[in-house]
């Protein structure tokens, strides 16, 4: 529905409503929006407070002290910060493509029509509701523990599994597997996207003798590309903000040996355990800029591969 504006609205409505009811209607609208405005205050104030704190030395207990760009300068030489960036980038660039591929694969299988589809949809979607929760990460730690289910299973085949969560070489892999497992929400969106593709295209292609793979490459992928793009942007942003998984798996340390020191886990450690809130605020702003830049690159690149049907 379109919003009637100005003269058009006045002439279109046959029994013209009294003029002042419009003003009243607006007031009612604003009144309903009031909670949102109040809520925004709780976002806007901390937003600007943290921008200010990013330029201060603030230990939570005494008043912040203005130090200009000192926090940002310290970041340049901070080895733990570099480590946290590396962990976050590796995690993102491995797990996001994998989880999107898994989501698309499962969505296509479900799209083919399976009996009990709603059940499968729910089963595959469930993990993404739970994925970031403390309980699931703890469960994950149990499953992948040195004497957990995974290693028991590997033991049947005579394979001695590693200490998945406590070996610095494997802890991040374990979290990537957890992330891929929670492909449910992109999957549901893919499923909706697949429904939009007219069956006639596939029928025509089949008549022309195109193979299943050819159909996938020439029909599904191009027509689904806006959806893929949407999922990609969403997943990237979410992945850069990963906190709970790394925090819970390592007991709040980013360990073993900093192998799960996500950017946000390090930010938390600096702010709350090392009383360095100024530095933590500066880190938060760097993350914001980083995500903005990556998203912008994504949108620029999208021009070359995202295909809009209209």
Binders of another protein in range 140-159 (CB under 8 A) = 141-142, 145-146
Which listed residue (6, 68, 116, 251) binds another protein by CB under 8 A? 251
Choices 111-119, 126-134, 197-205, 255-263; region in contact with another protein by CB under 8 A: 255-263
Which listed residue (132, 246, 255, 278) binds another protein by CB under 8 A? 255
* Binding residues with another protein: total (CB under 8 A): 43
Residue 102 touches another protein, criterion: CB under 8 A: no
Residue 84 touches another protein, criterion: CB under 8 A: no
> CB of residue 275 vs another protein: minimum separation in angstroms?
5
Residue 8 touches another protein, criterion: CB under 8 A: no
Choices 42-50, 136-144, 291-299, 300-308; region in contact with another protein by CB under 8 A: 136-144
Choices 24-32, 188-196, 210-218, 224-232; region in contact with another protein by CB under 8 A: 24-32
Residue 5 touches another protein, criterion: CB under 8 A: no
Residue 81 touches another protein, criterion: CB under 8 A: no
- The Cα–Cα gap between 268 and 287 comes to 13
Binding site for another protein (CB under 8 A): 1, 4, 12-13, 17, 21, 24-25, 27-29, 31-32, 59-62, 138, 141-142, 145-146, 162-163, 165-169, 250-253, 255-258, 269, 272-275, 277
């Amino acid at each position: 529905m379109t919003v009637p504006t100005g003269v058009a609205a006045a002439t279109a409505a046959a029994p013209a409503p009294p003029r002042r009811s419009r003003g009243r209607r607006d007031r009612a609208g604003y009144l309903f929006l009031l909670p949102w405005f109040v809520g925004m205050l709780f976002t806007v104030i901390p937003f600007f407070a943290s921008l200010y704190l990013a330029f201060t030395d603030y230990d939570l207990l005494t008043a912040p002290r203005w130090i200009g760009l000192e926090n940002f300068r310290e970041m340049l030489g901070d080895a733990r910060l570099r480590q946290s960036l590396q962990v976050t980038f590796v995690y993102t660039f491995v797990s996001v493509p994998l989880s999107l591929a898994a989501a698309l694969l499962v969505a296509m299988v479900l799209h083919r029509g399976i009996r009990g589809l709603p059940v499968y949809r729910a089963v595959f979607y469930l993990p993404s509701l739970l994925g970031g929760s403390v309980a699931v990460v703890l469960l994950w730690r149990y499953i992948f523990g040195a004497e957990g289910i995974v290693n028991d299973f590997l033991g049947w085949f005579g394979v001695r599994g590693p200490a998945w969560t406590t070996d610095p070489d494997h802890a991040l892999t374990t979290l990537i597997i957890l992330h891929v497992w929670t492909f449910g929400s992109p999957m549901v969106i893919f499923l909706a996207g697949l429904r939009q593709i007219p069956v006639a295209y596939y029928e025509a292609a089949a008549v022309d003798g195109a193979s299943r793979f050819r159909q996938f490459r020439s029909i599904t992928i191009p027509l689904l590309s806006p959806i893929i793009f949407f999922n990609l942007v969403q997943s990237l942003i979410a992945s850069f903000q990963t906190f709970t998984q790394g925090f819970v798996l390592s007991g709040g340390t980013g360990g073993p040996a900093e192998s799960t020191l996500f950017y946000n886990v390090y930010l938390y450690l600096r702010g709350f355990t090392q009383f360095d809130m100024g530095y933590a605020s500066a880190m938060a702003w760097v993350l914001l800029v980083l995500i903005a830049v990556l998203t912008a690159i994504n949108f620029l690149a999208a021009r070359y591969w995202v295909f809009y049907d209209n």
